[in-house]
Amino acid sequence: MKFSQKSGHKPIDLMNPLKLTASNVGFLISIAMFFWSAAIAQVTVHGDKSLPHDLELRKYFPQKINHLAQPYDVTFYHLKLDVRPDVQQIAGSVQIDGFSQAANLRDLAIDLYDNMIVDSVTANGVSLQFSRVVQQMVVQLPQALSAGERFSITVHYRGNPQRIGFGSFNWTESNGTPRIWTLSEPYGAPTWWPCKDDPADKADSVFLDITVPENLVAASNGSLVRADIAPNQRKTWVWKTRYPISTYLVVLAIADYTRYSDTYFSGGAEMPVEYFVYPELLDAAQIDFAPTIDMLSAFSALFGEYPFFSEKYGMASVTSGASMEHQTLTTLAARHINGAHTGEWAIAHELAHHWFGDLITLKNWPDIWLHEGFASYCEALWEESVRGDSAYVSAMRNMDPGSFSGTVVVTDTVNLPVMFSATVYRKGAWVLHMLRGVLGDAVFFDALNAFATDPRWQFGNATTLDFVRTCEQISGKDLTWFFEQWLFRVGRPVYDYHWDVSGDAAPYQTTLRIDQMNSQPYENNLPYRMPLQVRLSAGNETQTVTIWDSLPEQQFVFETDFSPANLEIDPDNWVLKRLIFNGGNISSIPRGFEIAQNFPNPFNGTTIIRYGILRRTAVTVTIFNVRGQQVFAQNLPPQVVGFYDFIWDGKDNNGRDLPSGIYYYQFSDGNSSAAKKLVLVR
């Protein structure tokens, strides 16, 4: 699938620089060189063999901490579970195979919540000693294992799983019929089965034998091998997945499902697309799920073939309020199924996770944006593919609530509202949107494809740094400046701008002044560095140029053959920002922090003192007599860039008239100050 770019929707054209007049070239170059050499000297531009500044970015990533060390690698799980909704209990066993990663491994720390009862642990039919610690169990091995030596144990257990996070294990019903589902992201898997709950330790395969009442269907990961009749009017559903899988992606969806299927064709081969739907939602689901095949084709064209082609893609309706990208079996919130396609975005989102989340899984939870930001951006890509550029622009605009709290790379992985916040999802999507604007379509989509198809990450794990490396290698550019400010910084740039036009005939000169007043302080208030499109127009005449805004205050001058009546900054919305247009002419912008001579002077009654500020700031005015004694002081409220008038009535702070004489007035903004003399005559 090709994502077209029409005239109204183009990436930032970095090859169309502004025309600078001789009067300000030296000004811009000298200030820019000073600022960037002093403030962020690590940002350089490499050639085709560009490498990221790993040490600069790595400081933002906390180290992974486990409560008990788990120096082993799991290769296989086999869950055999009897699910009894009548008493809300599960019972059974989990076989865990793996190998030691330590030189002298004597025990295995296995994650399992305390409310689950462990009856025994065996190896080759022999019982093993074990103990319980907080949310874990420690199994003593029959003998110490050397590095690389394999083990196989089976945990026999039972209990009523504890609900944490977004649900973990849920017992619900409809008209007396059980409807059971799991949602283990991020830490919920050990609430219902023993495992090594580390997203970076993927089992090579997982088998599940799920026994349920015979009137229910048990859906899970991978391919259905068989459904066996079991004693006491029960049925055992046997599922097997032979693709590497993280523990939080293992799923049970159990209900009175109606099943139907479709087929996805690709390259002369075919794959089943299986749906498990509550009976009352069947008609609506057949309407809402219809685009799924086209979505598979669209995302496969962008990111490589659907990763789990030899098994299936499936969706199961659940009573959860949230949907979840369980590997090969998305659980879709029933509220998204209504026959009106209002949940189409959710279907696209969860399917996209099968590349960004399931195929390539984060190594540590701070990098959750690699899942959620990417899948959210794929919602917009799907809109673009089926409804065009305007739908893409609208989708991105709808992902901007106006402000975001926190950083895209998460610093608090205990607080789930922080981990799964709008910042991670929506600002994460905006990071990719802006990266597309910076790199252009061809390079951007090459980078996404390269990341998704890299065998180093496929069916394994990746980090934000891995994605940065990929983008730099594909683009041949150092992108540290981009990722550092957008992933690890709170807020967005706020561009306060003025502009005017001079000249009676062509070429006309347009002067644009931009002051960054950013929404959140950051490392000495360093400004954002971003390319910005500026569109000048008058009637049918239009000219678009690209500028790089990177300073606290920056002025640009460019020439046109027409006298612009309108000026738009970032008209195609490629940058997450806020714009403030203050109107007025450039001549109304101070050259720096300055004050004028008061008028009238001498004065009797009141006098006006004009002052100018170059950035949004509070100002303090202080007046002294000739002996240096302060007679008046006032803090003026913060104002935007421009000139302002302060009126003094010749009184002190207590409202008493001051005597005739010479006085000195001083204005200060905390960084700069200026003073002049005035004369008061009574």
Q: pLDDT tens-digit profile of 72-100?
A: 999 999 999 999 999 999 999 999 999 99
Give 321-334 pLDDT, tens digit per residue: 999 999 999 999 99
pLDDT, average across residues 9-34: 42
Token pair 């099968």: residue: 354
Give 625-650 pLDDT, tens digit per residue: 999 999 999 999 887 777 788 999 99
Give 648-673 pLDDT, tens digit per residue: 999 999 999 999 999 999 999 888 88
pLDDT of 682 over the 60 cut: yes
User: What whole-number distance in Å separates Cα of residue 416 and Cα of residue 462?
Assistant: 21
Q: Output the six-digit token pair for 659.
A: 């005597």
Residue 47 binned pLDDT confidence (cut-offs 50, 70, 90)? very low
Domains 492-584 and 594-680 share a fold: yes
Q: Is 542 helix (H, G, I), strand (E, B) or coil?
A: strand
Q: Output the six-digit token pair for 512.
A: 């644009």
User: What whole-number distance in Å separates Cα of residue 457 and Cα of residue 360?
Assistant: 6
Residue 63 binned pLDDT confidence (cut-offs 50, 70, 90)? very low
pLDDT, average across residues 9-18: 54
- Helix, strand and coil percent figures for the chain, each rounded to 5: 20, 40, 40
Token pair 């006309």: residue: 508
* Residue 146 φ then ψ, to 5°: -85, 165
Give 208-262 pLDDT, tens digit per residue: 999 999 999 999 999 999 999 999 999 999 999 999 999 999 999 999 999 999 9
Residue 589 binned pLDDT confidence (cut-offs 50, 70, 90)? low
Give domain 492-584's CATH architecture.
Answer: Sandwich (2.60)
Q: Output the six-digit token pair for 350.
A: 């969860």
User: What whole-number distance in Å separates Cα of residue 631 and Cα of residue 625?
Assistant: 7
pLDDT of 15 over the 60 cut: no
Q: How many CB atoms lie within 10 A of CB 261?
A: 11
Pairing of strands 578-581, 494-502: parallel
* Element at 353 (helix H, strand E): none
Task: Answer for the pair 520, 490: CB distance below 8 angstroms, yes or no.
Answer: yes
Task: Answer for the pair 650, 603: CB distance below 8 angstroms, yes or no.
Answer: yes
Query: For position 13, what pLDDT does the model report?
Result: 60
Task: Answer for the pair 372, 420: CB distance below 8 angstroms, yes or no.
Answer: yes
Query: For position 645, what pLDDT does the model report?
Result: 86
User: What whole-number distance in Å separates Cα of residue 228 and Cα of residue 230?
Assistant: 6
Q: Output the six-digit token pair for 93.
A: 């066993």
pLDDT, average across residues 359-380: 98
Q: Output the six-digit token pair for 345.
A: 């975005």
User: What whole-number distance in Å separates Cα of residue 650 and Cα of residue 659?
Assistant: 8
Q: What is the distance, to the nearest Å, from the Cα of residue 630 to the centroid of all Cα atoms in its chain? A: 53
Delimit the domains of the chain by residue range.
Answer: 492-584, 594-680
CATH of 594-680 among 2.60.40.4070, 3.30.470.20, 3.40.50.1100, 3.30.70.3270 = 2.60.40.4070
List 245's β-bridge partners, or say none.
203
User: What whole-number distance in Å separates Cα of residue 200 and Cα of residue 101?
Assistant: 14
User: What whole-number distance in Å separates Cα of residue 61 and Cα of residue 584?
Assistant: 45
Q: Which of 404, 385, 384 is nearest to 394 (CA)?
A: 384
Q: What is the DSSP string of 11-42?
A: ---TT-BPPPPHHHHHHHHHHHHHHHHHH-TT
Query: For position 446, what pLDDT does the model report?
Result: 99
Query: For position 69, what pLDDT does the model report?
Result: 87
Q: Which of 167, 109, 153 is nearest to 135 (CA)?
A: 109
Q: Output the six-digit token pair for 2.
A: 């090709």
To 10 degrees, the CA torsion angle through 222, 218, 183, 300? 30
For residue 438, the number of C-alpha atoms closer than 13 Å in the C-beta half-sphere is 25
The residue type of 173 is E
Greater model confidence, 536 or 503: 536
Question: Which whole-number Å values give the CA distances from 453 to 356, 450, 532, in the listed order?
Answer: 11, 5, 32
Residues contacting residue 82 through CB under 8 Å, at least 6 positions apart: 90, 91, 92, 211, 234
Greater model confidence, 57 or 39: 57
pLDDT of 438 over the 80 cut: yes
Q: Output the six-digit token pair for 215.
A: 């009137």
User: What whole-number distance in Å separates Cα of residue 216 and Cα of residue 204?
Assistant: 29
Q: Which of 322, 82, 309 is nearest to 210 (CA)?
A: 82
pLDDT, average across residues 181-208: 98
Give 601-617 pLDDT, tens digit per residue: 999 989 999 898 877 78
Q: Output the six-digit token pair for 28.
A: 């811009």
Q: How many helices and strands (H and E) does the chain possess?
A: 13, 35
